[in-house]
Structure 1
Amino acid sequence: MGNKTFTVNGTVYGSENVLVIAELGTSHGGSPEKARELVDAAADAGADCIKFQIVYADEILHPNTGDVDLPGGRMRLYDTFKKLEVDISFYRDLKGYVESRGLLFLASPFGMRSARELWSLKPGLLKIASPELNYTGLLTELASYGLPALLSTGVSRLSDIETALELFPPERACLLHCVTAYPAPEGDYNLRVLRNISSLFGVPVGVSDHSLDPELVPSLAVVMGAVVIEKHFCLSREDSGLDDPIALTPQDFKRMVQAVRRVSVLGAEATLDALKQEQGEDTVEAVLGDGVKRLARAERANYLRTNRSVHANRDIQAGETLVPEDFAVLRTEKILRPGLHPSWESRLVGRKTTRFIPSGEGIVFEDLI
């Protein structure tokens, strides 16, 4: 059975023409000059597509989320996101610059505002980050745009993937296998799962890779059928971007691109044999895994916390009747309790509370009459 392909703007991506994405995220720090420098470096390193993140803190976290461990250290993430907010015109200009370099522009939205602003830019494709894979309201909005979509599957179970794919037709969806850990251990990747989830769901697959090795996971992913490879990109791992400590420098990103392209030249079997000789058979087998979709060891503690659930926007007293402004679908992280699945968002209005719900806490069934 041949690998499934993913089409964007008329270009077909497959095992012979893998789509390579440089994830710049918010590493520009709000500077147009730094953003252009990153785009130029990624283009020169061989990227096909440049990805950003359209961040509004209130769409992602509650202020009471507290400190979060990130690659650059422990920080108050809500405040950090607030500082990274820029007007959509920032990304409009960047989209023009990216396309002037002959590359695809891509961005992740995290809520309705950023989704609709992104849609106003007329992108060629969409990206849903792993924590938003269960955010059914956002997925419904994005699916209505009719664009090809990359859906990251870190910190998810098969049931989460199945629910998300009910909203996107197979011809427009590509699943990106991911391990939600920074950095992610190569031995957690279980890349044999790629062929299995592609067959199970009838969609093309790729990998969003947070491991540190420039070549091992990307090369093996393509051997296993990946048609998309995404990797964080930085000018230096000493820079101040949130993901810069685990990102690839231009030199390493170029190595990765060359390794990915080499698979289509050598073929899957010859590449696999070469990697076993270079890296050792035990190392390669550890990365390939058994192909059973499960939460990776490095991300198990993040399930139901990195993902979205329904949280109180304010202190809510017992006996109050909920209105839309009272709650939001947010990432829980480590301090707050997780709430109801995001699919409950549309069913909470008009319900009465049975007890006090502190601002930021997840709203659970016991809170409601």
Structure 2
Amino acid sequence: MAEVKMGNRMVGDGHRVYVIAEIGINHNGSLEVAKKLIDGAAQAGCDAVKFQKRTPELCVPMDQRQIERDTPWGRMTYMDYRYKVEFGFDEYSEIDEYCREKGIAWFASCWDEEAVDFMEQFNPPCYKAASASLTDLTLLKKTRATGRPLMISTGMSTMEEVDAAVTELGRENLLIAHTNSTYPCPVEELNLRMIHTLQQRYPDNPIGYSGHEVGLATTWAAVALGATFIERHVTLDRAMWGSDQAASVEISGMARLVANIRDIEKALGDGVKRVYEGEAAARKKLRRV
């Protein structure tokens, strides 16, 4: 059976869909906004929230560092902006305590090796490797060395690149998410049948879906197709400033997403034909033979 233990939860075949609200950098550097997003995700019934952690001097290419851009804090270089939206130890310590109070797990996508060392201080239940990091084998192996479960995303990648990453990492404690890395993604490019392709190719690993589309119907379809974990970006307002906001789900939408996922799980059943108690009266009344 394809299953992995993450914190106090089993994720995979036969288990409740694990729903992740990705806060990412939608907090725009504000701890207050981050807490509101945690509140919303917890109230919506999500299992976890996810952040992104970068060490800007390791992640920002030299040729982009001095490019200026307009931000809510005025015009500044891209490097200064990256620092502006990056939480440090004090903020994550507060987030760690706040998530415990709210009864929701939290973890992060680490974009460099120092970020992994940083996050280890908080004993996360797992790590996520972003699609952009799928070919960064040094980073993947560093994350793998923590011994924690690892989710990898497969956006912007060829099948050969996915195979190479899985071969390098090994199958144990590995979860694989189908995704398309366009923000927001056109529905005709979602290719949800890749969920089945990945299930057939990696039968021992939980397969999930990380969605960047507008709307919820296609994420529900991913659950119906067998995704065992779901990740969607969450925002207070899709019109907020920031590159990921437009492809995110607002709090009310996240509550609908989770509620309907739970209904879909119940509706799917076990595939064994039976006559239900509620059908007995109709059977007796309507059957001629």
Task: Name the TM tier (shorter chain).
Answer: 0.7 to 0.9
Q: Does 1:53 align with 2:56?
A: no
What is the CA-CA distance between 1:194 and the residue it aligns to? 1.1
1:143-154 alignment to 2 at 5 Å? 143-154=144-155
Cα distance in 2 for residues equivalent to 1:68 and 1:258: 43
The RMSD of aligned alpha carbons is: 2.5
Could you tell me the percent identity over the aligned residues? 27
Q: 1:201 to 1:16 in 2, by over 3 A?
A: closer
Cα distance in 2 for residues equivalent to 1:88 and 1:189: 36
1:1-369 alignment to 2 at 5 Å? 4-14=2-12, 16-65=15-64, 77-202=78-203, 203-214=205-216, 216-267=217-268
Name stretches of at least 5 consecutive residues in structure 2 with no aligned partner: 272-289
Q: Mean alpha-carbon deviation: is it higher for 184-193 or for 195-204? A: 195-204
What is the CA-CA distance between 1:78 and the residue it aligns to? 4.3
Q: 1:174 to 1:27 in 2, by over 3 A?
A: same
> Which residue of structure 2 aligns with residue 352 of structure 1?
none
What is the CA-CA distance between 1:85 and the residue it aligns to? 2.5
Post-superposition CA distance 1:144-190 (Å, at most 9, x none): 01111110110011121122112433230111111010100122111
Is 2:11–2:206's contact at 8 Å kept on the other side of the alignment? no
Instruction: Tell me the TM-score normalized by structure 1.
Output: 0.66
Q: 1:167 to 1:103 in 2, by over 3 A?
A: farther
Name stretches of at least 5 consecutive residues in structure 1 with no aligned partner: 271-369
Q: 1:268 to 1:180 in 2, by over 3 A?
A: farther
Report the number of matched residues.
263
Is 1:54–1:110's contact at 8 Å kept on the other side of the alignment? yes
Post-superposition CA distance 1:74-118 (Å, at most 9, x none): x97544323212322311221221122111111111101111101
- 1:13 is matched by which residue type in structure 2? V
What is the CA-CA distance between 1:28 and the residue it aligns to? 1.7
Q: Mean alpha-carbon deviation: is it higher for 250-259 or for 7-16? A: 7-16
Is 2:49–2:104's contact at 8 Å kept on the other side of the alignment? yes
Larger RCO (CA within 8 A; separation ≥ 6): 2
Instruction: Tell me the TM-score normalized by structure 2.
Output: 0.84
Is 1:206–1:228's contact at 8 Å kept on the other side of the alignment? yes
- 2:16 is matched by which residue type in structure 1? N
Cα distance in 1 for residues equivalent to 2:77 and 2:184: 19
What is the CA-CA distance between 1:259 and the residue it aligns to? 2.1
Moved over 4 A (4+): 66-69, 75-79
Is 1:5–1:227's contact at 8 Å kept on the other side of the alignment? no
